[in-house]
Structure 1
Amino acid sequence: MEPSSLTLDAAFWITAAAILTLLVLSGLFSGSETALTAASRGKLRARADKGDTGAQQALDITEDNERLIGSVLLGNNLVNILATSLATAMFTRLFGESGVALATLVMTLLVLVFAEVLPKTYAITNAEAAAARAAPVIRVVVRVFSPVVSAVRLLVRGVLRVFGVKTDPDSQILAVREEIAGALYLGHSEGVVEKEDRDRILGALDLGERAVEEIMLHRSQIEMIDAENSPRAILDQCLQSSHTRLPVYRDDPDNIIGVVHSKDLLRAMYKLVMGGENVSAEALEQFDICDVAMKPYFVPETTTLDDQMRQFLRMRSHFALVVDEYGTLQGLITLEDILEEIVGEITDEFDPDAEHPIRRSDDNRFLVDGAMTIRDLNRATDWNLPDDEANTIAGLVIHEAQMIPEVNQVFSFHGFHFEVAAKSDNRITKLKIRKL
């Protein structure tokens, strides 16, 4: 029989049509796999909320990525192998033994262009739209191949376990924060996301992982009122203070008996002095600060910032005293302190001239306040100093030096050069830092 007569054979055309159909299915599987894995779940959720059923189905089937990829790969390999087998049989019939090599070349070209590169390029360019369109079909494929994929998944996990590899189906859920952080850093490096926006979002994400003790005002810096002081001394202290709320102690600074608000103090004193018929400053001596002091609110130093912020909002309070596991006062924290972890330093009309904790020195090094937290320093300079062992930059130097250094003493660690610029008693107050 002549080759020309074979081309008119019905079996030839049926085989050719089957190969083309299988190539289309292969392209569908390849493009769907790329679209469903590359599509942003956030964007799909936004489309689903607007009534896009395809986007909702895409979200449903991507809940189990392992089963989705297994089903798509099974279908893709099935149609590719079947198409190649049919092409080999057809070309062998047409050209004899040389048809095997010809079929390999032709099918490689067709699969590469029309079943791999073309659909995947389209899927990457229009990931969410392609995922929404392909989801109804892939959903059926996943259901059909589910028993086979389950068996393959058990086999794969068994083999991986032999080599000590454990699979975690919830790993993508736990990695959401890392994905957001990575996207923000990438966007900032490419100039799409501003540094301030990146820091604000990352600050909000970190609230659940940071404890109160990391940002609290240490007890050595807390301004307190002694309940035994005279009313005139208490009034003078409150008027000169830049703080609205002040803790009140009796006998020992660890014995906090209340917290006084300046408005409550002034109202009570004004009423006492001006309330009688005979206005006299001597009436002020009858004032007892315990009458206006609010009950102190204590929180453990291990409370997360996220939980503490929720407590502040629930209790309509802005001020809490921090204690350790033994109930000893360690510091205080305010709602403003937590908000500063998100939006950065907040100043008002009472502290416009406050010295910035970091500035350039004359020798072009950074002059840093020793009490500045490592996190704030990293945010201000885009450095990556570790904050696992210490909260403040002075604490980091003491931890690494394993001693209390003297002024002008120099250290080098973590890729930075540290020089102690000033010291008060055993506390490092100023450091000069430069990157090596």
Structure 2
Amino acid sequence: MPSGDTVAADYTSKNVIMLVFWVLLALVSSFLCSVAEAVLLSITPSYIEGLKEKKPKLAEKLKRLKVDDLDNSLAAILTVNTIAHTVGAIFSGTEATNVFGSELVGYFTCVMVLLILICSEIIPKTIGAVYWRSLTSISALFILTISTMIKYTGFLWFSKLITRLIGGSHAHTFSRDEFIAMAGVGERSGEIDEGESRILKNLFRFETMTAADIMTPRIVISALKAEISIATAIETADKHFSRIPIYGNDLDDINGFVLRTDLLLHKAECHGESNLESIVRKIPTVRRSQTLTPLLEQLLKDREHIAIVVGEYGETVGLLTLEDLIETLLGMEIVDEFDKVEDMQLYARQLWEKRADKLGIDVKASKEELEETDASDDEN
């Protein structure tokens, strides 16, 4: 017959094995749940959309878990995680009492808390957050499995009830500022280059900008009187501008524009003495408060390249071109083979400053007056 010491030894060995079993069960189960939770919360709607062409089945699973049934997914993970912690703590505590005695159970509890904190919270959630792209497939399978296992326990129904009572929603949409920030992050990480980042940022700012933000101000518009002859216009018009506004009494009476090529063509056909009214083309007008997106669409639809910007009372406040809109969108100057100056707005300002200086006009005072006028228009 086995002695009492042998029975005690066998009993202690069984308790040690069960202690290790319950500790590992709690830690491993909690580890998997924490990884799955971190992966699930790291998945973005844009990532799911990107998978639809390459991996449609996986994309459908992720959409179901992340978008359609996020509450159920989280409830399943947290339920299994809680059960693992609770059951593991109860049974491992019982076995620890048998193995170490009641005097040392307190030390075992402290060690168990540290193991749970490090091995089933910090480490797995860090892994899930960092490597979530690589773990999406296996995490989706794990979440679907545990969701099916606890589907009929009532936990998921209770979770939905709580969510409805609270009125919470996990739906997430990106704001313009978030998209702009994402473009900057993508550039810094090397996913997109500097030019792509610039265009994306400008694209999301484009809708918030108005004609007043990009126009050439009235004070530097280069225009010609309608009554002068074509020959005189060729001599006096600035050669850097291909489209020249035409006005009657003053700049508030701009009734069209002429193409520089039309001027040269009519002079070559011996019509140099005709006045500009004979070849003037219609010019559209836009309000200074007009946003850029519909403005660009309208100019492209009407095949217009230039427009006069008017204020609240119909007065001319500036001029803009199709190039100005596209340059604002791209964030760079557009220069064709005939352009000798890249920034035409800057050139217009510099030209006006030279003329003002010759006439003895205080350029600084004129600029301040223009800024005050713009500010008052904005307030109105």
Q: Deviations over 1:49-97 (max 9, x none)?
A: 2125334433443337973555534442332223222222332344443
Q: Is the 8 A contact 2:284 2:308 kept in 1?
A: yes
Determine the C-alpha separation between the residues in 2 that align with 1:93 and 1:315: 88
Match of 2:91 among 86, 93, 118: 86
Write the distance in 1 (CA, Å) between the matches of 2:43 and 2:176: 14
* In 2: Cα distance, 1:247 partner to 1:134 partner: 65
Q: TM-score scaled to structure 1, two decimals?
A: 0.65
TM-score (norm 2): 0.73
2:252 counterpart SS class? strand
What does residue 61 of structure 1 align with? 65
Relative contact order (C-alpha < 8 Å, sep 6+): which is higher? 2
Give unmatched runs, 5+ long, in structure 2: 351-361, 370-380
What amino acid maps onto 1:323 in structure 2?
A: V
CA contact (8 A) 1:226 1:250 kept: yes
One-letter amino acid of the structure 2 residue matched with residue 24 of structure 1: V
C-alpha contact 2:229 2:276 (8 A) present in aligned 1: no
Q: Give the partner amino acid of 2:245.
A: P
Q: Structure 1, residues 187-230: CA drift from partner, whole Å, max 9, x if none?
A: 65x89987666544322321122112111111121122221222
Q: Name the residue aligned to 2:232.
A: 233
The verdict on how the C-alpha distance between 1:187 and 1:142 changes in structure 2, with shifts beyond 3 A counting, is farther
Q: Distance in 2 between matches of 1:350 and 1:106?
A: 76
Instruction: Give the Cα–Cα distance (whole angstroms) in 1 for the partners of residues 217 and 302 of structure 2.
Output: 23
User: Which letter maps to 1:174?
Assistant: F
**Counterparts in 2 of 1:242 and 1:355: CA distance versus 1, 3 Å:** closer
Equivalent residue number for residue 299 of structure 1: 286
Q: Is the 1:322–1:330 Cα contact (8 Å) retained in structure 2?
A: yes
Q: CA deviation at 1:184?
A: 1.3
% identity of equivalent residues: 23
Contact 2:183 2:197 in 1 (8 A): no
- State which of 352, 355, 367 in structure 2 corresponds to 1:427: 367
- Contact 1:297–1:321 (8 Å) recurs in 2: yes
1:323-377 CA deviation, whole Å, 9 max, x = no partner?
23333322121222123333234456544497997xxxxxxxxxxx9x79xxxxx
The answer to whether the 8 Å contact 1:248/1:259 transfers is yes
Aligned to 1:243: 241
Provide the secondary structure at the position in 1 that maps to 2:246: strand
Are 2:217 and 1:213 equivalent residues in the alignment?
A: no
> Do the aligned residues in 2 keep the contact of 1:87 with 1:107 (CA within 8 Å)?
no
More helix by share: 2
Contact 2:22 2:92 in 1 (8 A): no
Does 2:113 match 1:108?
Answer: yes
1:120-131 maps to which residues of 2 (within 5 A)? 120-131=125-136
Change in 2 beyond 3 A, CA 1:424/1:102: closer
User: Does the aligned pair in 2 maintain the 1:87–1:103 contact within 8 Å?
Assistant: no
* Structure 1 contact 319–332 (Cα < 8 Å) conserved: yes
Instruction: Check 1:106–1:169 CA distance in 2 against 1; reply closer, same or farther (3 A cut).
Output: closer
Checking the alignment, whether the CA contact within 8 Å between 2:34 and 2:120 is kept in structure 1 is yes
Query: Contact between 2:180 and 2:200, CA under 8 Å: does it hold in 1?
Result: no
Higher percent of residues as strand: 1
Matched with 2:142 is 137
Q: CA RMSD in A?
A: 4.0
1:185 Cα offset (Å): 6.2
